[in-house]
Structure 1
Amino acid sequence: MNFIPLAFGELISPTTAAYALATIGLVVHFGFTGLVNFGQAGFMAIGGYAFAITSLKFDWPLPFAILATIVASVLFAFVLGVPTLRLRADYLSIVTIAAAEIIRLSVKTAEISNVTGGATGLNGASASFNAINPIPDGTYGWGVLTYNQDAVWVRIVGWALVLLACLLVWALIRSPWGRIIKGIREDEDAVRALGKNVFSYKMQSLVLGGVLGGLAGALFILPRSLQPDNYGTQLTFFLYTIMLLGGATTVFGPVIGSMIFWVVLSLSDGLLSLGVNSGVIPITATQQGPIRFIIVGVALALLVIFRPQGILGNKKEVFFSA
């Protein structure tokens, strides 16, 4: 098996782009503002379901479906933020992870399955997106990196969205707004003493990062069906791994982190399968999945010990809220 072309294919996959976009939102929350949000998977679920339901059930045009995704993410940010943003960091983390689980379990209930698809989810949400594809029909690329016009289109749009998000956050963090946000991360009492409305700025940060997470949720389902179990707590931990890998206080770190993380996670299963089938690795096929997560976990632990600022991070800005 030629792993190099496969690795390059995973680097530019829409899943990698979706992870990068959601992690940029998480960096706004945690890295720059100090909000310990363990519910970014909930924002992704809200965005994915808002996009899929309006596209499939209500037959809304693509621009209105995207607008619904943004509005739903903003509303969820307000519902989540109004009662929780005055909590201490550890309590905030518990509430946000619970909110994400409430979303995931709610969409699986039979009472609203005619809208959400229940435990089986929804399929075909990408139809309206592919309908505006300007790329001529056909296949593009070479070898294992051959894609049809829809696969090329989602990659172009996905990475363009990531680039726009990076530029937006980069500009905001360099602005007076960004300096206040970073001040809240360091010492919110000092910022409050200067007459700034800390709660308002936290809410703005939660909304911005939540909208990026919601758009990532919509991007995440374009190459696949929408499955509620894809938005479990495991997804949030994936995003935190990506953030810590690239740098929790950087704008472009999530892009590098998502590429490395998804390539390692995707290809490690293939490498383990090759080792198991050849008898080099003495494990069973059912043990492959847990072992690749162990490998990622050990790598993350070593990274936090020896380079806590991440690949692109600045050690002076490392922030782990307690």
Structure 2
Amino acid sequence: MDWNNILTNVAGEFFAPTTAAYALAAIGLNIHFGLTGLINMGQAGFMLLGAYGFAISTIAGWPLWAAMLVAVACAAVFGLILGIPTLKLRGDYLAIVTIAAAEIVRLIGRSTALTELTGASSGLRGNDYKHTFQDSSPFGDGNFQLGPFDYSMSASNSWWVRIVGWTVVGLACLLVWLLIRSPWGRVLKGIREDEDAVRSLGKNVYSYKMQALILGGCIGALAGILYVLPRAVQPDSMGRPMTFFVWTILLLGGAATVFGPVLGSIIFWASLMLIKSVMRAGVPDSIMRTEQIEQFGWIVVGVTLMLLIIFRPQGILGDKKELAIDVR
């Protein structure tokens, strides 16, 4: 078993673009759930809309900044449409509606009626929309090796994607930190704990919930852009499992914390890579094939989530007095 190669792959997940994208999506979900108490099970829908908005706009010839604005605007409009009829719902009812809304987005995206726009189930090829982002890189072409990590400077899975992705994650963490300390953030916490009490103080609870839903959704749209920069836009890859992974990451790191989503994403993807790499190297094909090892890795993720909610509902960085999921 080549432990050097295994540990290198695991360490690479610490700062991979996918890790950054999921951390950013979990930060958006943290605004929904950690700050406001909204059980949004459709974060993947915001991510998919952001990816489609960015890719379609870029293919149409729009510049990078305009395509990103389109992606954020799509998420904001989706949040508004989703929130108007649903934000008066609580708990499980809101969860059911949001997961259904995300599925509607996915099914519309893979519809053959929109093949020319979305690519239907085949999606949109990365080479059709990545050029504006790659052209904005100040590093030029070629590869750069840092220790055991050797990536291109500006191509799909590049240092440029990593630098931009983790910079955006850092800015999002700063935003959450400022929101938690602001009067606006304190109102959201009050809504999370007892929205009737906040309403009795004259606050428009519905308006605050809408603002939180849209803001977290827009961050999710940016996460969707970051997620598809190293790959293609494929609607089935951004369905229900993606939302469950984002929830696992948030609960693992700790909801209602600033760095919980980041820590959760790093641990989640590094642990998954470790499990798969060790099993591929140590388990013979006669016992478990490669595709079975992939599925086993996700089974471990599911079991971990269950154990986490039972024994450590506040997450690694969370404060049990601040927020914990009631599993009684």
TM-score normalised according to structure 1 size: 0.96
Partner of 2:314: 309
| Deviation at residue 139 of structure 1 after TM alignment | 1.1
Q: Does 1:192 align with 2:199?
A: yes
Match of 1:218 among 218, 225, 229: 225
Alignment of 1:1-40 (within 5 A): 1=2, 2-40=5-43
What whole-Å deviation, never above 9, does each CA across 1:234-265 have from its counterpart, x for those lacking one? 00000000001000111210000000101122
Aligned residues: 319
Match of 2:139 among 135, 151, 157: 135
What whole-Å deviation, never above 9, does each CA across 1:81-121 have from its counterpart, x for those lacking one? 00000012111100000000000011111111100011110
Report the Cα distance in structure 1 between the residues aligned to 2:230 and 2:237, rounded to whole angstroms: 14
Report the Cα distance in structure 2 between the residues aligned to 1:10 and 1:173, rounded to whole angstroms: 29
TM-score normalised according to structure 2 size: 0.94
Q: Does 1:284 align with 2:289?
A: yes
Out of 230-239 and 135-144, give the one that drifted further: 135-144
- Asked if the contact 2:22/2:223 (under 8 Å) is kept, the reply is yes
Report the Cα distance in structure 2 between the residues aligned to 1:5 and 1:287, rounded to whole angstroms: 23
- Asked if the contact 1:268/1:292 (under 8 Å) is kept, the reply is yes
| Deviation at residue 304 of structure 1 after TM alignment | 2.2
Q: CA-atom RMSD, angstroms?
A: 1.5
- Asked if the contact 1:36/1:321 (under 8 Å) is kept, the reply is no
SS at structure 2 position matched to 1:277: coil
Gaps (5+ residues) in structure 2? none
4+ runs deviating over 6 angstroms: none
Q: Does 1:41 align with 2:44?
A: yes
Report the Cα distance in structure 1 between the residues aligned to 2:222 and 2:14, rounded to whole angstroms: 19
What whole-Å deviation, never above 9, does each CA across 1:265-291 have from its counterpart, x for those lacking one? 233222221122387xx3333421221
Match of 2:243 among 236, 243, 263: 236
- Asked if the contact 1:276/1:285 (under 8 Å) is kept, the reply is no
Partner of 1:126: 130
Out of 293-302 and 179-188, give the one that drifted further: 293-302
Report the Cα distance in structure 1 between the residues aligned to 2:312 and 2:98, rounded to whole angstroms: 27
Q: Does 1:169 align with 2:188?
A: no
Gaps (5+ residues) in structure 1? none
SS at structure 2 position matched to 1:141: strand
Report the Cα distance in structure 1 between the residues aligned to 2:258 and 2:319, rounded to whole angstroms: 12
- Asked if the contact 1:247/1:309 (under 8 Å) is kept, the reply is yes
Identical aligned residues as a percent: 55
Report the Cα distance in structure 1 between the residues aligned to 2:163 and 2:138, rounded to whole angstroms: 11
- Asked if the contact 1:40/1:236 (under 8 Å) is kept, the reply is yes
